[in-house]
Amino acid sequence: MIIVLKNGTTPEQLREFSDRLSSQYQVQVNVWRGTQSTVLGLLGDTHTIDIESVEANEIVESVKRVQEPYKKANRAFHPNDTVIPVGDAKIGDGSLQLIAGPCSVESEEQIVEIARRVKASGATFLRGGAFKPRTSPYAFQGLREEGLRLLLEAKRATGLPIVTEIMSVSHIDLFRDVDVIQIGARNMQNFELLKEVGKLDKPILLKRGLANTIEETLMSAEYIMSSGNEKVILCERGIRTFETYTRNTLDISAIPVFKKLSHLPVIVDPSHASGIAWMVEPLSMAALAAGADGLIIEVHNDPQHARSDGAQSITPARFDALARKLFTLHRAVRG
Amino acid sequence: MIIVLKNGTTPEQLREFSDRLSSQYQVQVNVWRGTQSTVLGLLGDTHTIDIESVEANEIVESVKRVQEPYKKANRAFHPNDTVIPVGDAKIGDGSLQLIAGPCSVESEEQIVEIARRVKASGATFLRGGAFKPRTSPYAFQGLREEGLRLLLEAKRATGLPIVTEIMSVSHIDLFRDVDVIQIGARNMQNFELLKEVGKLDKPILLKRGLANTIEETLMSAEYIMSSGNEKVILCERGIRTFETYTRNTLDISAIPVFKKLSHLPVIVDPSHASGIAWMVEPLSMAALAAGADGLIIEVHNDPQHARSDGAQSITPARFDALARKLFTLHRAVRG
Amino acid sequence: MIIVLKNGTTPEQLREFSDRLSSQYQVQVNVWRGTQSTVLGLLGDTHTIDIESVEANEIVESVKRVQEPYKKANRAFHPNDTVIPVGDAKIGDGSLQLIAGPCSVESEEQIVEIARRVKASGATFLRGGAFKPRTSPYAFQGLREEGLRLLLEAKRATGLPIVTEIMSVSHIDLFRDVDVIQIGARNMQNFELLKEVGKLDKPILLKRGLANTIEETLMSAEYIMSSGNEKVILCERGIRTFETYTRNTLDISAIPVFKKLSHLPVIVDPSHASGIAWMVEPLSMAALAAGADGLIIEVHNDPQHARSDGAQSITPARFDALARKLFTLHRAVRG
Amino acid sequence: MIIVLKNGTTPEQLREFSDRLSSQYQVQVNVWRGTQSTVLGLLGDTHTIDIESVEANEIVESVKRVQEPYKKANRAFHPNDTVIPVGDAKIGDGSLQLIAGPCSVESEEQIVEIARRVKASGATFLRGGAFKPRTSPYAFQGLREEGLRLLLEAKRATGLPIVTEIMSVSHIDLFRDVDVIQIGARNMQNFELLKEVGKLDKPILLKRGLANTIEETLMSAEYIMSSGNEKVILCERGIRTFETYTRNTLDISAIPVFKKLSHLPVIVDPSHASGIAWMVEPLSMAALAAGADGLIIEVHNDPQHARSDGAQSITPARFDALARKLFTLHRAVRG
């Protein structure tokens, strides 16, 4: 950590500040005094230093981190890719993982039918929303407990492990049989929830928040990992920008950046990124070409009667055609 | 609601779609058929219509709301300003409410001292964080239950009602003696939490999310209100933009827009909006001139030793000088 | 165009407004009167209607376009892809066009050497900056006229057609021998410049502005096309967002959206989108998989001594390896 | 300037790099070698250093400026406020400057009438567009030369100095009698135009670009100033964000930040910032309370028949009421 001090800092102020830093954080403080400014260099384990409290000091002009503020999620400390096994699937081992299913679970017939269809096309996981975060209190909020039960029925019928979203710490017990728990974009900084899922021994699919940086996403992964659960899957699902044609803007760059900064697997959600069914194909292809370990895609057997997110869902037939293209692309770029 | 259909829609498709809309939502559907396109106009109570499910229909080109999707928070249905009384204070009645205090409660001595100082300067509420949402799991997370206890001590000592943030549905019982519960920006779309505080009979200070629109903020207010609690105070605290000089960008326009669209009181947080202590004064002045009902300001007796957010906290002496200016301005613009 | 009127509009106001619209724009105005609101539907060629002037009317609540405001760039009116031939290359015909070269032309030796190297790797165009838009007046501003002369030398030496940026209407005569004129992102809405290059018979590579929507980009293409020059190549080069790891955020979605809305070819600039050399490869792969017609890539034989943009330039050797991967991918996805 | 080197940098690489920096830029290079990383501190006049070229070096991890990259616009080098006299008005001396007039000049009658009305209400400048930057080539492009002539008529009739926008270097001679030349937001980084107006002896009103940072705006001011013209007036007019209710988001924080970083006067354009007539009043009040030296406001005698920007123009009567409020506020906050 590099700390630039203000002009006019007295030697006494410098000494007091420097002593406080070394006692408070067990770092070594090096001073470099130029003619115009004084710079401090902090050596040691600086990731626990509260940058805001340093900035608050009246003699501090600015602060710059040299090390990243996350450690367990950091590739520098874990050079090898993390591979997360779930049933027969291995997320992060170079294979292509396809997570598919409806936005909301609506009925046993619906979820089992979709599960069968997507499995036949090569999907390795079934997704489906039981608890649904909706902008409006008047919109369908999901079948909740009943939705979880139906997902488990579909798992029994097809063998596909299931991925579904948790919305509250008070629901954790309900998720004991879920294979992968999803933290939605709106809860990416619900830190109390992150701590709780960090106590589980279960993979967590962590969606990047709409307005969260790559670093903040890794810090939320760090919350889960530092609570004990290192099975975190990162998910890029589009960020909020000024562009209005798409619902969000898929940050394709986040894929290689997550891969460089972290050892965790990365999947992409083209359905929520665009909000538009016909865009799922080109965005899926792009994500795979950019290095994603998998995709999470909304598939509905009857999109126009879907109880949520119909506009971005594709039919099982289109998913089948897309999956073929994706496996071809996967062979071409990873083969 | 106006629905533009795609070219080539058949009369049968139109009839089927129109019938479904009128049966599902109890609205009246009017058809206007041009030479190039067909437009449907929906009359009635359209705020429960799920716009996404309408957009998902294959014959739909685009959808445009004419009415806002919120009702209880909507000024059109409640023309008079909502006034929320808390102890002696009335939020939203034209008076200037100053909510002041430290980012984090750190000790009884600290919080009581700050409470005394800000009250002497004209503050009408004491703020202080007990449960702290921090980007890093390694940063100070607040004194938690003990922090709430100390806030209540400070209330006893000064009479100031207290405002403090809740982070989890599982903590609700701990907040029974808190005067105003704050929902932080990162939890603005934690819908399960919104529903729970919606069951309380206690004012809720709802902070706008970093990347949430004005309409989404009102929809989150609607969650609380439709659960039964109509005492919602909106809070603008800066949005995320490309500008890096300030931590966030205070959306000053949100003040008059909230006031136009809704009857709820609006307060502004200049401390988090900028993240910079010297900017608290000009932003507070601007917010008041733009029509805010109050300000929530971070005040710390020793900012450089604060355990969080020191860089944006002002001292009690500076708060005192600022309060004088604000009361002068308030008389000039509202007098 | 759909115009929603305010409640309380009188029949006289409605008639006056309706008459003015039909006389001013030669459109047919249809009125649909509901119990709560009145809606006007405008039929005919509405793309010349000034939406702002309609919105300014005191009886207007809101306005919604049904048709896009651009015509010559619109795929609805030109269903077939535009193919732009330049020398032996055809941009937009399904082939992969690689435009490569240094950020700035620095010397004859440099530009000829790079041209030879990139041509050998499969590049079909040479790029190089002669007039350089730099944020700082103290930064290298390009070799200007001399830079253009050196580019033409490199063209003579290799046969590669050249692409270079124009910064001012006063320089147009200097660009008579340039094969493709680039309009930079910062000049995308320099409308006087767009009109001037619209009078030339020469392909124009139009870069999307940092903060411009897809629609605005197409409107700038429309400026060039409506002045007479229909040879416009669209270029996505990253937009400005809150994310700070990359210089800009590549909007990968813009590729399929441009292709859907318009018939013009689309190329992508991964170098400026990220600002980081190691990211050029994954972003190029993604862009091609998403449907781009080509890529414009910064290549420098000595990036760390480059006079501009070294941080995002790759060496000829890396370009060669990347080109191989891209041609493999191109065969896999388009073959 | 602080340069953090990558781990593994050899002493030879360090020496070569350090020597190159000190010879190329005449700065003194100090080396501080920690156990984990090596940091260089550059002393001297670093504002001419091309940060990108430094970042391009393979041994460089990251670079951080300590000094701002602008000098003539920098308050550190010019502590006193710049005051720009135009006729009787003094911009930047603590007085309140009101620049008012229509978006577009439409006729002599129109512009003279509006000039008379706004002058009577206290306006000190007349604004009016002759050359109009419009998103669509089919929208009214302004009366151009004739518009300038009419503005000068209005000046003759009222004595008000005029402010109007230039769009091209080729028009400079036409602007010789204009009092203040405006550079529009879309041309803020039209560097060739900045250099040309930098050669004039005439105040330049420089509007911040829609997606430009505060620092970039000051760099554009630096372009003008380093070309010889130090009479630059900065103008905040709203930035592009995800919020859609307002056309842009007024960055109220930019006012105090510009004032802190620079000595140049700052005015605010509430009309373009919001795009909505009823918001002009609260935003004007906020801007003045935040420290702006003046406001530029669109006033039209018949907004609904205006040929551009009618939706954001206020009538002379509303301008008169607003001006009264502003002068009252000005006395209260500056008196």
Nearest-Cα residue of chain C relative to residue A240: C241
Nearest CB partner across the interface for A32, out of D4, D41, D211: D41
Q: Indicate yes or no: CB of B32 within 8 angstroms of CB of C41.
A: yes
B18 Cα distance to chain centroid: 37
What HEC string does C309-334 produce?
A: CHHHCECHHHHHHHHHHHHHHHHHHH
* Cβ neighbours for A47, distance < 8 A, ≥ 6 positions apart: A67, A68, A69, A70, A71, B136, B138
pLDDT at A71: 92
Angle between helices A316-334 and C316-334 (to 10 degrees): 150
Q: Indicate yes or no: CB of D252 within 8 angstroms of CB of B252.
A: yes
Per-residue buried b or exposed e for A213-236, using 16+ beta carbons within 10 Å of the residue's own CB: bbbbbbbbbbbbbbbebbbbbbbb
Q: Indicate yes or no: CB of C58 within 8 angstroms of CB of D304.
A: yes
Nearest CB partner across the interface for A290, out of C241, C255, C286: C286
Q: pLDDT of D124-167, one tens digit each?
A: 999 999 999 999 999 889 999 999 999 999 999 999 999 999 99
Instruction: Identify whether the C-beta of residue B162 lies closer than 8 Å to the C-beta of residue B178.
Output: yes
Give chain D positions within 8 Å (CB) of A35.
Answer: 43
Q: Which amino acid is at C302?
A: D
Q: Indicate yes or no: CB of B306 within 8 angstroms of CB of A170.
A: no
Whether the predicted pLDDT of A134 surpasses 70: yes
Q: Indicate yes or no: CB of B56 within 8 angstroms of CB of A223.
A: no
B256 and chain D: CB distance < 8 Å anywhere? Answer: yes
d(CA A142, CA A147): 7
pLDDT, one tens digit for every residue, chain B (335 residues): 888 888 888 889 999 888 888 888 878 888 877 666 788 888 777 777 878 778 878 888 888 887 788 999 999 899 999 999 999 999 999 999 999 999 999 999 999 999 999 999 999 999 999 999 999 999 889 999 999 999 999 999 999 999 999 999 999 999 999 999 999 999 999 999 999 999 999 999 999 999 999 999 999 999 999 999 999 999 999 999 999 999 999 999 999 999 999 999 999 999 999 999 999 999 999 999 999 999 999 999 888 777 777 788 999 999 999 999 999 999 999 86
Q: Indicate yes or no: CB of C252 within 8 angstroms of CB of A286.
A: yes
D253 and chain B: CB distance < 8 Å anywhere? Answer: yes
Give chain D positions within 8 Å (CB) of A41.
Answer: 32, 34, 39
Q: In chain D, which among 149-208 make CB contacts under 8 A with chain C?
A: 167-171, 186-187, 189-193, 195
Q: Which two tokens stand for residue C303?
A: 């990036």
Domains of chain B with CATH codes: 2-64 (3.30.70.1140), 84-334 (3.20.20.70)
The total number of residues shown for chain C amounts to 335
Give chain A positions within 8 Å (CB) of D240.
Answer: 242
Q: Indicate yes or no: CB of A66 within 8 angstroms of CB of D240.
A: no
Q: How confident is the model at residue A4 (pLDDT cuts 50, 70, 90)?
A: confident
Per the listing, tokens 């620095």 go with C106
Q: Which residues pair with D59 in a beta bridge?
A: none
For D49-139, where are the alpha helices, taking DSSP H only? 51-55, 108-120
pLDDT at B34: 67
Q: How confident is the model at residue D52 (pLDDT cuts 50, 70, 90)?
A: confident
Cα dihedral C131/C137/C139/C142 (nearest 10):
10
Nearest CB partner across the interface for D30, out of A4, A34, A66: A34
Nearest CB partner across the interface for C135, out of D56, D216, D308: D216
C45 and chain B: CB distance < 8 Å anywhere? Answer: no
Nearest CB partner across the interface for C136, out of D137, D209, D219: D219
Q: Which amino acid is at C7?
A: N
Q: pLDDT of C39-75, one tens digit each?
A: 888 877 777 787 877 887 888 888 888 778 899 999 9
Whether the predicted pLDDT of D309 surpasses 80: no
For chain C, where are the alpha helices, taking DSSP H only? 11-25, 51-55, 108-121, 145-158, 191-197, 214-226, 254-261, 270-274, 280-289, 316-334
Instruction: Identify whether the C-beta of residue D52 lies closer than 8 Å to the C-beta of residue D74.
Output: no
D37 and chain C: CB distance < 8 Å anywhere? Answer: no
Q: In chain D, which among 221-250 make CB contacts under 8 A with chain A?
A: 240-242, 244
B57 and chain A: CB distance < 8 Å anywhere? Answer: yes
B299: left (phi over 0), alpha (psi -120 to 50) or beta: beta
| HSE of D59, CA atoms in CB hemisphere, 13 A | 18
D309 and chain C: CB distance < 8 Å anywhere? Answer: yes
Q: pTM of the prediction?
A: 0.94
| Burial environment of residue A61 by CB neighbours within 10 A (0 to 12, 13 to 18, 19 or more) | middle
Percent of chain D with pLDDT over 70: 99
Instruction: Identify whether the C-beta of residue B206 lies closer than 8 Å to the C-beta of residue B220.
Output: yes
User: Strands of C60-64's sheet, edge to edge?
Assistant: C28-33, C38-43, C2-5, C60-64
Instruction: Identify whether the C-beta of residue B101 lies closer than 8 Å to the C-beta of residue B128.
Output: yes
Return the beta strands (E) in chain D as ranges.
2-5, 28-33, 38-43, 60-64, 84-86, 89-91, 97-101, 125-127, 162-166, 180-183, 204-207, 232-236, 266-268, 294-298
pLDDT at A35: 62
d(CA D289, CA B282): 7
Q: Indicate yes or no: CB of D66 within 8 angstroms of CB of A242.
A: no
Q: Indicate yes or no: CB of A246 within 8 angstroms of CB of C252.
A: no
